[in-house]
Amino acid sequence: MGRLKLQSGIKAIEEEPEECESTSSNKAALACMINSEVGAVLAVMRRNVRWGGRYMSGDDQLEHSLIQSLKALRKQIFSWQHQWHTINPAVYLQPFLDVIRSDETGAPITGVALSSVYKILTLDILCLNTVNVEDAMHLVVDAVTSCRFEVTDPASEELVLMKILQVLLACMKSKVSVMLSNQHVCTIVNTCFRIVHQAATKSELLQRIARHAMHELVRCIFSHLPDVGNTEHALVNRGSSVKLEGIGHDTEYSFGNKQLENGNGGSEYDGQPSSVGFASNSSTGLVASVLDENTIGAGNGKEATPYDLHLMTEPYGVPCMVEIFHFLCSLLNVVEHMEMGPRSNAIAFDEDVPLFALGLINSAIELGGPSIRRHPRLLSLIQDELFRNLMQFGLSMSPLILSMVCSIVLNLYQHLRTELKLQLEAFFSCVILRLAQSRYGASYQQQEVAMEALVDFCRQKTFMVEMYANLDCDITCSNVFEDLANLLSKSAFPVNCPLSAMHILALDGLIAVIQGMAERIGNGSLGSEQSPVNLEEYTPFWMVKCDNYSDPSVWVPFVCRRKYIKRRLMIGADHFNRDPKKGLEFLQGTHLLPEKLDPQSVACFFRYTAGLDKNLVGDFLGNHDEFCVQVLHEFAGTFDFQDMNLDTALRLFLETFRLPGESQKIQRVLEAFSERYYEQSPQILANKDAALLLSYSLIMLNTDQHNVQVKKKMTEDDFIRNNRHINGGNDLPRDFLTELYHSICKNEIRTTPEQGSGFPEMTPSRWIDLMHKSKKTAQFIVADSRAFLDHDMFAIMSGPTIAAISVVFDHAEHEEVYQTCIDGFLAVAKISACHHLEDVLDDLVVSLCKFTTLLNPSSVEEPVLAFGDDSKARMATVTVFTIANRYGDYIRTGWRNILDCILRLHKLGLLPARVASDAADDSELSADPGQGKPITNSLSSAHMPSIGTPRRSSGLMGRFSQLLSLDTEEPRSQPTEQQLAAHQRTLQTIQKCHIDSIFTESKFLQSDSLLQLARALIWAAGRPQKGNSSPEDEDTAVFCLELLIAITLNNRDRIKLLWQGVYEHISNIVHSTVMPCALVEKAVFGLLRICQRLLPYKENLADELLRSLQLVLKLDARVADAYCEQITQEVSRLVKANATHIRSQMGWRTITSLLSITARHPEASEAGFDALLFIMSDGAHLLPANYVLCVDAARQFAESRVGQAERSVRALDLMSGSVVCLSQWAREAKEAMAEEEISKMYQDIGEMWLRLVQGLRKVCLDQREEVRNHALVSLQRCLSGVEGFQLPHSLWLQCFDMVIFTMLDDLLDIAQGHSQKDYRNMEGTLSLAMKLLSKVFLQLLNELAQLTTFCKLWLGVLSRMEKYMKVKVKGKRTEKLPELVPELLKNTLLVMKARGVLVQRSALGGDSLWELTWLHANNIAPSLQSEVFPDLQGLEQKKDETGKSLVSDETGSAPSNETVA
């Protein structure tokens, strides 16, 4: 407790240094603490014989200086009056540090002194305000790093080493660590590493602690990097090489076992303690005997310029971090030189050191993070040295090392990817893609680690997008995104083996990529808006540049264009490999090469296009043709050989094509190479000829060394001898040639490079090339969270992805794997829909439908229970319908598969009740609750029992309850608990599917999708067959038809889109059905229902809809008969609801045809007449368009003997009542129309009226007396009710000829020819007919008298009267007519006389009318003339002549239809 208080007191002092009045208790407490530490050190010293007593020096009795200084400190501490921070820390630290430095003290004493220093450091006595704190810290570091002590036993030695680590770590962690200089920090790390190295021969615990301390140190130092200013201090010129004092090369291995000093292994235990120095005077070298040049701070040649001394003494910052990082990287370089100490119990050494070094590097990168890019020297270490080593260790056999390498690369990707574009490409191509596939010989563990790493990368949301944008869309880089996506999908495929963790891992990666895309969708900028790339004209493809890599509106089109070029180049390469000439022509056609080929463009095509046949390229470049030679020189010009060794340059050059076999070709190729090499790296070579000769020499050496047929190999001296005097007459430096010789011997130049297949190995020459390229490569594009390129990326990976997820789903057996797959499927669906990739969505639906098990022909006893037990099938089913509901807009052919699933559920009786009817009724806003009922009721009889189910019952609950009650014919056992549970699961699954909403919500589907859905329904229903189809097929057809009608009704606004298909389907059903059945019933009533519902909304389609009803007229007689009544009710309903919407004659013709048919049908006629009544009563819905049709229909009802005569009478009333409409129309026309239109309208009205009276004429011949007589009355009403409009005279003549006279004649025939049994009381009818004739004639007398053919008409009237006068009914003369006719005639003659029509004229040629009249009248009643004209005499004499002349006059008269104005 005291110590805690003490600490808080110290902190108070620190925080308020200006307050000099500090409590005396705090001062006292610190003084006590230091006093106790002094006491502890002295106590341990006294236990040792050497320090325990006094010893003499001359006469004086003196104490040893170490003890003296400690005692002196004791005296002072309590007398200090000032604040602690004003006291120089060296005063109270120095005595302890002296003990630590002394080589006379034993390990226990040194240990206690170290503990004391540790305590002082950790109690925060020192703060930045303390006087001389900087010097004090330097003293501590110097003392501890040069600690010396006697070793008495191994345990105490290890303890001291641990304490040294503890103190050094405390120095770095204390607040005043910022005062340490770069050099001191390097020294601390150096010392620490030496302890780590020494610990290899010590206990496991020390090893662990030492390594942990090293980690902590690195973390401490690099966590300081973000705070370091961005000031790169001046570097010393490359020439100077100041060695840092205490950090230079050192061959003395000055800690470690004392055996190094006295060669006596046992000496430490036999009472002759030997001394272990922890560092010689000025040196703190690393394990120098082993790590020759790898001391921190050692400048190694051209790679690192050492910092000058001044910088190393400044407060620590970037210089020490560069030195430490360089040292850590160099640890990786020297692994192969390391040897183990004799007592090592470390982990296998080839794994141990790199793991340790990589761990430290990882910590440094984690903490330095993005700040590293502000410091070019640190950055270049990572770009080159570190990454080169990572590439090498990435292929290590040790999974631990590989795992650590992958972690480092992931960290580098996170923090520094913009600076590491080509390095990352190399890592994925040469490490991950090689290891993750077994064909390159990687162990299963390596594959797994590589795959885990790849999946970690995939989980970075922008990783794949950045790979695609930066590498796949760059012509000089490989298609990393594509390769990784293919790798993941292939690795997820279990081929002839069960599903393993590796497959699931790869699947996780794939799904992470897909879900990343799906998440980006909501963030705007879908790539589908990108316009397609099209190259209109030639521009050098290798020169395409982007102006702004941070603005998506600039870089996205640029990247898409680059990818387009790259794809075209690949196609060009393919053509080139088959026929070089055609390949170049193809590229000219796509504007990637100019119309007139130039050497540069062809050279760049060869240089930057992957996949070219290197043999063909070599032949082309070696050709003696002038153009080919120019291409060769341009080709060589594309290489950058700056600062490269000749053999490295030659390797790179010959990797790009195969060196031809003929010597002239080789000569030409090497000439071009030498020229380029000399141009860029002339350091040693005198001229390009020297380069050429040396290159030739290297090729020959290569053949000599690596060709098995050469038995006697060239020695180094031979090689040097061969190359004498080639450098402008002088010799080349021997060490230069020696280096070349060994390089070629050790590493063959492959003159037959591998043909671009597989993933390359990273050779040193390739790495050098990569570093050159990285200086020139395009800037790294950083992707954000918007979906700029997802459309193109997804198009590349969608096929393999769906296949992979499907295969895993198929093989999987665990719920969580199912769920992972389902998440993947839904993400794929979302992306496909949002990027409008309909084909992909269709493929996905097809794939998923297979897993629902609903498409498999069911061999299962009880498929419903099987489905309930199969969670995979249930999940797939829910997913299919989720996709259909969410993304239906983009489904096309997939609807067929979805419908197959729905039909299967329908057959199993699992669909919710009335999916189809609900779908249709959803939008129905009908006031009539009974609407549609008859159809559904009649359909229920058509539900056939389906396979595997005991009995059909509609609806989910119906099906379930039926299972519970199991009311089947044969008794069954009660269902088990499991069966009930399976059933419950099935029902829940189907409820989750919301199948009905596919149809009820179809109004929101896009047009293309809706059309495909309708087509799928028609396809699923199958083509109707003549004759009997199986009940099950019919059930399916009915169900599909219901759904089809439902979506038609739901999409009335888009009926045009669907109508053709729906109509043709219904038409096929109608034409192919010969017997009543549920299907034809559904078709007919569905059609009527569509018309009912759509007529109010679609006036422009009214005709087409009504024309479709003609199908009903084409029904087979038996079918029509069966449904006639219901059809009529529906038509009646349709008419009542929509009469105002039916405008055209064609539409009315269909309606009236349907109604007319019913007139003779016992059940249907009532409803039919009801509809007609609705149309014609009071002319409510009569129009010029439907007048004639309605009159005709009414006539058919009037003539029909079905039903009571009273109905016929009502029909006649309808007919006669319709005259009112004609008058009204005539009146309206007069008021509203122009002259021409009026005459046209009158003509039309006249024709309608004529049709009306003709219709009535037919009914006048009816067998039923009351009907016949009523028809006559109605006819009379119609003939006399025409005052409202003017009928042309010609029409009246027609009317007399075709209606009145014909009727009179027909009635006469009937009266004379038929038995009284058929036609009762004909006499009354004849009387009525006569009266009608007389009345109509008189009514029209004035108009008719004007006509030239009046005589003929009048003759007709007279002759009919004469015939009726003499008629015999049943062979007897009638009673009434002989009285009636003369009466009527007399009346007529009187009127004619009164009106001046019948007058005796004494004109030339005689008065024919007069003569004619009396000729006939006298036959009827001889006394008439005297009664009518009592004052006329002497008529008889002339009778004969007049008769003759009249006859001749009649025959020569004008035709009866002549119009008289």
Catalytic residues: 662
- Yes or no: say if 192 and 298 are a contact pair by the CB < 8 Å rule: no
149 phi/psi in degrees, rounded to 5:
-160, 160
Contacts of 1252 (CB under 8 A, 6+ apart): 1191, 1215, 1218, 1219, 1222, 1278
8 Å CB contact between 1141 and 1183: no
First to last CA, the chain: 139
How distant, in Å, are the alpha carbons of 22, 24, 128, 130 from that of 81? 11, 9, 21, 15
Q: Which residues are within 8 A (CB) of 563 and not within 5 positions of it... i.e. 6 or more apart?
A: 472, 473, 792
Distance CA 1077, CA 660 (A): 82
**Token pair recorded at residue 1021:** 């229903």
* Backbone φ and ψ of 898, nearest 5°: -60, -40
How far is residue 1130 CA from its own chain's centroid?
46
The DSSP bridge partners found for residue 1369 are 1372
Residue with tokens 């260790």: 393
From residue 356, alpha-carbon distances to 170, 359, 407 in Å are 22, 5, 14
Q: Phi/psi at 275 (nearest 5 deg)?
A: -100, 140
- 8 Å CB contact between 425 and 474: no
* Residues pairing with 274 in the sheet: 151
Q: Which of 504, 260, 215, 487 is nearest to 364 (CA)?
A: 215
Whole-number Cα distances in Å, 895 to 129, 791, 848, 907: 80, 23, 12, 18
Q: How many CA atoms lie within 13 A of 231 on its CB side?
A: 7
Of 1332, 1188, 1177, 1359, nearest to 1260 (Cα)? 1332
Contact assessment for residue 995 and residue 905, using Cβ atoms and an 8 Å cutoff: yes
Residue 531 per-residue DSSP state: P
Q: Measured on CA atoms in the order 55, 60, 65, 70, is the torsion positive or negative?
A: positive
Residue 151 main-chain phi, psi, to 5 deg:
-95, 120
1036, two tokens: 């399916």
At residue 942, the 3 state secondary structure works out as coil
Helices and strands in the chain: count of H runs, count of E runs? 68, 6
Kindly tell me the burial class for residue 1355, based on how many C-beta atoms sit within 10 Å of its own C-beta (0-12, 13-18, 19 or more): buried
Q: Which helix (H) or strand (E) holds 148?
A: strand 148-151
Per DSSP, the three-state class of 1348 is coil
Cα separation values, 1456 from 1254, 1297, 1332, 1333, 1448, Å: 18, 8, 21, 18, 16
CB within 8 Å of 1196: residues ≥ 6 apart: 1156, 1159, 1160
Per the listing, tokens 């004379």 go with 1312
Distance between CA atoms of residues 634 and 52, nearest Å? 87
Contacts of 789 (CB under 8 A, 6+ apart): 465, 468, 469, 527, 556, 559, 560, 783
Classify 106 as helix, strand or coil.
strand
> Which amino acid would we find at residue 1370?
K
* Distance of alpha carbon 1269 from alpha carbon 1307, whole angstroms: 11
> Dihedrals φ, ψ of 686, to 5°?
-80, -40
